[in-house]
Amino acid sequence: MAVRIATWNVNSVRQRIELLVSWLKECSPDIVCLQEIKCVDDAFPRLEVEALGYNVVTHGQKTFNGVALLSKLPFDETKSGLAGDDEDAHARFLEGVVTLKQGVIRVACLYLPNGNPANTDKYPYKLKWMSRLLEYSRERLKAEEPLILAGDFNVIPAARDVYNPAAWADDALFRPQTREAFQSLLGLGLTDALRAVNDGPGQYTFWDYQAGAWQKNWGLRIDHLLMSPQASDRLIDVGIDSYVRAWEKPSDHVPVWADLDFEIA
């Protein structure tokens, strides 16, 4: 039996709870990272999710950002917030540890800053956040445990990850500094799970609400699962549930999941 770990930027969990429940029933992931829940902890629709057998941990804030971890296994520990900036009040990072038959696995759910407009202070904030994530990853990798960074990275890693690279040249998601910061994470020894199993073009996870982007397949790949060697060694498959984008009142992102050769204890 494989363990399935998924990530999805739901773009307001209260507006999409019916979609979330439907997808959870269909996909049946064991651990889920949600981003942009856009609600305080108390407002998360916990009962609907718990009814499906999930433990729920949230790190929310009012109307913006917010991340959540759902797990069919109990959490051994959870921690919110990314080290490195005590003044950063954005709810963008939540990690949890669960025990599998083979030992523990650590999953970090993250929602990186968008960084646009790139000529404002939002872009330096994005780069600083990525630098903090690099430092976190460097420290965590020393433990040599299965680690997965999952979430909306707001990074288009390469030209094949966007329908029209030229149109995105100066966007914060695709600027050279952004892509270099992402490559630095891979340089530590993390594996981009999707690219480990599928190197083809058109692997998109986001379609804008504007200009009929979904219908025209004007997509981007900005939602990622990065894995430590101890996790990537057990990688079986990765999928993008793009069909969810065609549902009624969808998020502009779709779920991405990975199956790993672990057993639930």
Give catalytic status of residue 30 as yes or no.
no
Catalytic annotation on 223?
A: no
What is the residue type of 176?
P
Catalytic residue, chosen from 30, 54, 136, 152, is 152
Asked if 10 and 21 touch (Cβ cutoff 8 Å), the reply is no
Catalytic residue among 54, 111, 123, 204: 111
Assigned token pair, 247: 């549902």
For the record, the structure tokens of 174 come out as 């695709």
Q: Which of 196, 95, 183, 75 is nearest to 136 (CA)?
A: 95
Return the beta strands (E) in the chain as ranges. Answer: 3-9, 31-35, 55-59, 67-71, 77-80, 93-100, 103-111, 147-152, 191-192, 206-207, 219-220, 223-227, 235-240, 256-260
Residues 35/152, Cβ–Cβ less than 8 Å: yes
Closest by CA to 242, choosing from 250, 231, 232, 254, is 254
What's the rounded Cα separation, in Å, for the pair 34 and 10?
6
CB 69 within 8 A of CB 94: yes
Active site residues: 111, 152
